[in-house]
Amino acid sequence: MELNWLELNGYRCYANLHFEPAPGVNVLVGNNGTGKTSVLEAIAYLGLLRSFRGIPDESIVSTEAESAVLRGEFSVPSGSVRVEVEIAQDGRRAILLNGKRPKRNRDVLAQVPVVVFHPDDLDVVKRGPSLRRGYLDDLAAQLRPQAAADQAEYDRALRQRNALLRQEGRSADRATLDAWDARVTEAGARVFVHRLRVLDVLDEHLGEAYRLVGASGRLAWEYISNWGAAAADDLAAAEAKLSRALAARRDRDLDQRTTTTGPHRDDPMLVVDGRPARTMASQGEQRTIAVSLRVGAYRVLAQERPTLPILLLDDVFSELDPRRARGVLDLFGGGQVFVTTARDDDVPVDGRRWVVEGGVVR
């Protein structure tokens, strides 16, 4: 898949941008704060329908504009796909897929596979479990849009159950709680099974990616949960386990006024030769694992989709030692790539150079 053109209006520092990238490698060079990452963010937005910076939609609207408009056309084997997003100052947005409103926004997720790699990815390895859950859930949603719907349903059911516990505590109506338990169980089991499927296809690719990055040892996932997820390998088993765990922990939940078990509390741990990467690996190893995670995601998407994903590398090269930097692009396929860098010399690869300055890319 390739981005043919990108148009931005009223988006961050871009009042009006028309950008026609090259099919292969595109290197965006510019000083900090000139809007390199914003271009990557916009491309990723058209594929993921949210900012990879994890910020609310309205904050990407330029303060001078009434709304931000992001438009892009992508070429695919069957022709082309056009995605257009308008975000108003109040955060409301309208999405068009090939000029028409999609029936559901998540239909767009299936259209444009993108993989983003940026320095904060190190946190996925280093920090708490929520980023790793997010990594698996995001990949699941890119592979099967239904996963995005199930995740949203689980979030909502959980928020309702937690609201009941928070407001009522020990005096919560047990019958109402029973009803929410059933919803949390249903949706939670589906969220877990989506993760399981991702782990299944990811396993092989991740191990290979880790070797290709030049590391020795075996990189794998170890899925930790307090509701017996390990013993559940299908939907019915997961529902039964989760339902039992919610019942067993009800007393604790009533005391703590929140839901203390379920897929939202799981820790998908990364382990190298059985050692937890979060605490045992060196900074260098952790960086290698972070690269492997993105290479793994790229390869999974490449395998499951008829077209190669678009690869977005945000200021990654300055973090890598020069010896490895050269090899990084080879790890991914031969698809379209966007690289940002403050120093051209940091990116020792051929490709179209673009200078980013004052809201212009040329």
Residues that bind other proteins (CB under 8 A): 103-104, 146, 149, 153, 156-157, 159-161, 163-164, 167-168, 173, 175-176, 178-180, 182-183
The answer to whether residues 195 and 263 touch, using CB atoms and an 8 Å cutoff, is yes
The DSSP call for residue 309 is: P
The CB-of-260 to other proteins minimum distance in angstroms stands at 17
The CB-of-49 to other proteins minimum distance in angstroms stands at 17
The answer to whether residues 70 and 46 touch, using CB atoms and an 8 Å cutoff, is yes
The CB-of-302 to other proteins minimum distance in angstroms stands at 24
Taking the least distance from each CB to other proteins, the nearer of 173 and 222 is 173
The DSSP call for residue 99 is: T
Amino acid at residue number 35: G
The CB-of-181 to other proteins minimum distance in angstroms stands at 10
Q: How far apart are CA 226 and CA 266, in angstroms?
A: 7
- In this structure, the chain runs to a length of 362
Taking the least distance from each CB to other proteins, the nearer of 103 and 323 is 103
Amino acid at residue number 352: R
The CB-of-179 to other proteins minimum distance in angstroms stands at 4
The CB-of-146 to other proteins minimum distance in angstroms stands at 5
Taking the least distance from each CB to other proteins, the nearer of 186 and 267 is 186
Q: How far apart are CA 245 and CA 267, in angstroms?
A: 16
Neighbour tally for 58: CB within 10 Å: 15
Query: Residue 285's closest CA among 215, 220, 221, 332?
Result: 215
Taking the least distance from each CB to other proteins, the nearer of 166 and 353 is 166
The CB-of-227 to other proteins minimum distance in angstroms stands at 21
Taking the least distance from each CB to other proteins, the nearer of 104 and 343 is 104
> Is 174 exposed, middle or buried, given 0-12, 13-18 or 19+ CB atoms closer than 10 A?
exposed
The CB-of-141 to other proteins minimum distance in angstroms stands at 13
The CB-of-172 to other proteins minimum distance in angstroms stands at 9
Taking the least distance from each CB to other proteins, the nearer of 77 and 175 is 175
Q: Cα 79 to the chain's mean position, in Å? A: 26
Taking the least distance from each CB to other proteins, the nearer of 50 and 257 is 257
Long-range contacts of 215-219 (CB under 8 A, 24+ apart): 215/272, 215/285, 215/288, 215/289, 215/292, 217/272, 217/273, 218/272, 218/273, 219/270, 219/271, 219/272, 219/277, 219/289, 219/292
Taking the least distance from each CB to other proteins, the nearer of 150 and 315 is 150
Question: Which pair of tokens denotes residue 48?
Answer: 């993921």
Query: Is the alpha carbon torsion for 234, 137, 261, 166 positive or negative?
Result: negative
Taking the least distance from each CB to other proteins, the nearer of 55 and 94 is 94
Which residue has 């020990």 as its token pair?
Answer: 170
The answer to whether residues 226 and 232 touch, using CB atoms and an 8 Å cutoff, is no
